[in-house]
Chains A and B, each alone.
Chain A
Amino acid sequence: DIVMTQSPDSLAVSLGERATINCRSSQSLFYSNNNKNHLAWYQQKPGQPPKLLIYWSSTRESGVPDRFSGGGSETDFTLTISGLQAEDVAVYFCHQYYTTPWTFGQGTKVEIK
């Protein structure tokens, strides 16, 4: 199974500042057939289901604010929140859909400093 490891487990950022979350996979998520990295990012707030933010490692889902951006390739990926807002307090998960069983990172909790 592909292991997804996020860092840090939690971080506290001041309002308006940048938050960066890292995600590493145990094998490459780049699929040469479609030239895409099979990596998504989800946001989960307490008592709610996960919400899709980013897919194909860097494509923002419709309706997601442009302060959220995804980057990276193969085994190393990042989610950046540029200008943290109060409503961004949540747990963020990376997720590989390169192969089954699909797997998720353990989550990174983002709080306001």
Chain B
Amino acid sequence: QVLVVESGGGVVQPGTSLRLSCGTSGFTFSGFGMHWVRQTPGKGLEWVAGISYDGSQKRYLDSVKGRLTISRDNSKSTVYLEMNSLRAEDTAVYYCAKGYDAGGNWHVDSWGRGTLVTVST
């Protein structure tokens, strides 16, 4: 059974940093791409970043390029989202999701329960 569990969310001030972690089990982590998708009541579901099975390919939503960085540690079956220079518009529930393929080019097939990030003064 695939399990995806996010952690690291919280309330932070604008301009500060946060690191989200996503632990996984139940599948061969090093064989699949992984993604972060966020959700807000106003903007709905928004794909944020994706990483290939070996970390060699990373793709980002334009509005987060240079501020958010996706990475992975295959020895720990964990994917990360480093979030810097946070803005109010980054406030959302952040979901970690398992890709269907190694490259992270195709849909996601399993989601975690999400972690809430609130950027506010």
Contacts and interface: CB of A to CB of B under 8 A. Distances in A.
Contacts of B62: 101
Given A101-B62, A103-B47, A106-B44, A55 B107 contact: yes
Nearest to B35: A102
Interface residues of A, number: 20
Interface in B62-121: 62, 95, 100, 105-114
Main secondary structure of the interface of A (DSSP, over half): loop
A14 B100 CA distance: 34
Interface string B33-66: 0010000000011110010000000010110000
Contact of A107 (B35, B44, B107, B111): B44
Contacts of A93: 44-45
Interface residues of B, number: 21
Main secondary structure of the interface of B (DSSP, over half): strand
A52 B107 contact: yes
A1 to B, nearest CB: 8
Nearest to B95: A49
Given A55-B100, A97-B106, A102 B111 contact: no
Contacts of B106: 38, 55, 97
A17 interface: no
A38 to B, nearest CB: 7
B67 to A, nearest CB: 15
B113 A48 contact: yes
Interface in A72-98: 93, 95, 97
Contact of A95 (B105, B107, B113, B114): B107
A51 interface: yes
Interface of B: 35, 44-47, 50, 59, 61-62, 95, 100, 105-114
